[in-house]
Structure 1
Amino acid sequence: MATTTLSRPKLRFKGSVADIPARQKRTPLSRILATVIVSVLAVAWLIPFAWATLTALKSETEAASTPISWIPASGFTLDAFTKVLGSGNIPTWTLNSLFTSAAITAITLVISASVAYAISRIDFRGKDLLMGVIIASIIVPPPVLIIPLFQQMQSLNLIDTYWAVILPQVIHSPMVFVLKKFFDQIPRELEEAALMDGAGRLRIFTTIVLPLSRPILAAVAIFVFIGAWNNFLWPFIATNESSLLTLPVGLQTIKSAYGIQYAQNMASALLAALPLILVFLFFQRQIIKGVATTGLAGT
């Protein structure tokens, strides 16, 4: 039997320079302009952080004095950090924030990934309605749910426990939507081959889908962790005992009887933001890769 082979056609460029994609004909001037714009935006973002850092390193007199100056006349000092660290139980609050944020992140990943995979791959009655409810819930302001959530936690006798902080924060509709869009781009042929080999849905989900989704799962985990760490309102309502407070809530309890202490406030803000800065520095590659992958999947 004669066989025919298909040869790959040779591509020859016969067009003009105008036919070259814009990405391939960027001039050095455009790259320089883009670099300048990005640098200006980066400096604009860093100015508030630099101001907060310098204010935290001033004495209270220098921080409240006018005219405002970047460099204090009496030099920098660590008094604000010393007073903040000595006024509260910072290590316990930090551990509470780490525990609750890690638990919220882990539970959210399990719930969001499972729901997203079911909507993406399994046909069941009410699927479109469920997806519509998930999308509609994204626009619901979280403060609207505070009263019913508090009543629910109170009826379960969970107020002043870690579970009161964790459970109401494990449902993230935007993350379900993002993961569902990513799962839609995974080739169905991989799952069909696994089904023919006798694999079940759970095995396919854990051994095929999840390993292929590591970038987006890492990005979702980091965003959920940051949101849980920064959450102030709900932990403030759900906990009263000092030993259960998270770091953002605990730092707000450190108040002076002499009015607003600008240096101490800035020191508290920096202490609360320091773990998030470290998380971003260590996992920035995963964040960028996950966001880029999600963007490509949605195009």
Structure 2
Amino acid sequence: MTASTLTRTSTRNSGGHSAVVKRRKKRFQPSRFVATLIVAVLAITWLVPFAWATITALKSETEAAATPITLVPKSGFTFDAFAKVLQQGNIPQWTLNSLFTAAAITIITLAISTLAAYALSRIDFKGRKLMMTIIVASLIVPPPVLIIPLFYQMVSFHMIDTYWGIILPQVIAPAMVFVLKKFFDQIPRELEDAALVDGAGRIRIFWQVVLPLSRPILAAVAIFVFIGAWNNFLWPFIVTNESSMLTLPVGLQTIKSAYGIQYAQNMASALLAALPLIVVFLFFQRQIIKGISTTGLAGT
């Protein structure tokens, strides 16, 4: 047996041994087990209130208010609470209002935030550091503080009970600008320098180079903005008076306040308001997870 043969044989043996070691390591990893256990506990913690709301919504009002509390009602489950909520309010119109305003807020916020973040990340202009400082400082300002000046501004612009009155005050998102700016900082400048050498301008570089590389973070930001706009109750409640202009969270609240505390109907209305967000998450959960895991969003 030659020396080369012995070398190949030893290499194969060592390779096979390392493969066996790797396989043994993959069999049980305490850190992975602990992480899976924590995720399972958090999932159950989130599902328990949702399951409780679903069970309560499927009860009659008598069973929902009865004591002791039971998981399975004696008279069986019913959809009466959902039917009454749908009959009492203009649910289809409110849902369309929420979809339109949330989609418009998401699109406009993405457009403004991406352009602002790219300028702060790549363009060296006078006052850049001051502007970034203002954006970071604005993150600590609670949104309710701005409600009164925003309301007077909408009154002066004659935007009360209009879609623009709901949309415009919600399109400025300093947190999203900060997150996008941090992501743009990670994109290699060599790619843009090569495009500049080829004669491309800033707008073309932004559109054809930066945005295609930013799809995960753009998807994550879009979903977060949409969810925030959909769940926003306070501002649409203040800026709208007509029933035809109400968003779904505001409209469902008017039903509950008009008809008193009815547990089954309250839970049914809450599920109806959450249903679109659940659908969005089911369809775009990969984009959410990818955006958080690959862009550093979780650490910002």
What TM-score comes out, normalization by structure 1 length? 0.89
Q: How does 1:206-225 map to 2 (within 5 A)?
A: 206-225=207-226
SS of 1:109's equivalent in the other structure is: helix
Report how many residues are paired: 280
Cα offsets for 1:185-226 (capped at 9, x unmatched): 111011111111211111111111111101100100000000
Aligned partner of 2:63 in structure 1 is 62
Moved more, 65-74 or 106-115: 65-74
Aligned partner of 2:192 in structure 1 is 191
Give, in whole Å, the separation in 2 of the partners of 1:296 and 1:167.
Answer: 25
Give, in whole Å, the separation in 2 of the partners of 1:115 and 1:64.
Answer: 52
Cα offsets for 1:211-246 (capped at 9, x unmatched): 110110010000000000000000000111111110
Amino acid at match of 1:91: P
Aligned partner of 2:265 in structure 1 is 264
Q: 1:74, CA displacement in angstroms?
A: 1.1
CA contact (8 A) 2:154 2:165 kept: yes
Cα 1:185–1:73, aligned 2, differ >3 Å: closer, same or farther?
Answer: same
Aligned partner of 2:28 in structure 1 is 28
Aligned partner of 1:102 in structure 2 is 103
CA contact (8 A) 2:59 2:76 kept: yes
Amino acid at match of 1:79: D
Amino acid at match of 1:191: E
Q: 1:258, CA displacement in angstroms?
A: 5.9
Q: How does 1:1-299 map to 2 (within 5 A)?
A: 28=28, 30=30, 31-255=32-256, 259-295=260-296
Give, in whole Å, the separation in 2 of the partners of 1:41 and 1:141.
Answer: 28
Computed over aligned residues only, the root mean square deviation of the Cα atoms, in angstroms, reads 2.2
Give, in whole Å, the separation in 2 of the partners of 1:296 and 1:108.
Answer: 17
Q: 1:281, CA displacement in angstroms?
A: 0.1
Aligned partner of 2:9 in structure 1 is none
Cα offsets for 1:78-136 (capped at 9, x unmatched): 11000000001111110000000000000000000000000000001110110010011
Cα offsets for 1:229-275 (capped at 9, x unmatched): 00000000011111111000111111376631000000000000000
CA contact (8 A) 1:181 1:298 kept: no
Aligned partner of 1:5 in structure 2 is none
Amino acid at match of 2:47: L
Q: Which runs of 5+ in 1 are unaligned?
A: 1-12
Moved more, 122-131 or 251-260: 251-260
Moved more, 137-146 or 24-33: 24-33
Give, in whole Å, the separation in 2 of the partners of 1:298 and 1:255.
Answer: 39
SS of 1:255's equivalent in the other structure is: helix
Give, in whole Å, the separation in 2 of the partners of 1:256 and 1:122.
Answer: 52
Q: 1:32, CA displacement in angstroms?
A: 3.4
Cα 1:25–1:235, aligned 2, differ >3 Å: closer, same or farther?
Answer: same
Give, in whole Å, the separation in 1 of the partners of 2:29 and 2:120.
Answer: 47
Amino acid at match of 1:126: G
Give, in whole Å, the separation in 1 of the partners of 2:136 and 2:182.
Answer: 12
Moved more, 135-144 or 29-38: 29-38
Q: 1:38, CA displacement in angstroms?
A: 2.2
Cα 1:27–1:132, aligned 2, differ >3 Å: closer, same or farther?
Answer: farther
CA contact (8 A) 1:134 1:173 kept: yes
CA contact (8 A) 2:56 2:263 kept: yes
CA contact (8 A) 1:182 1:297 kept: no
Give, in whole Å, the separation in 2 of the partners of 1:296 and 1:90.
Answer: 35
Identity among equivalent positions (%) equals 77
Give, in whole Å, the separation in 2 of the partners of 1:121 and 1:256.
Answer: 51
Aligned partner of 2:7 in structure 1 is none
Give, in whole Å, the separation in 2 of the partners of 1:25 and 1:131.
Answer: 46
Cα offsets for 1:261-299 (capped at 9, x unmatched): 000000000000000000000000000011111228979
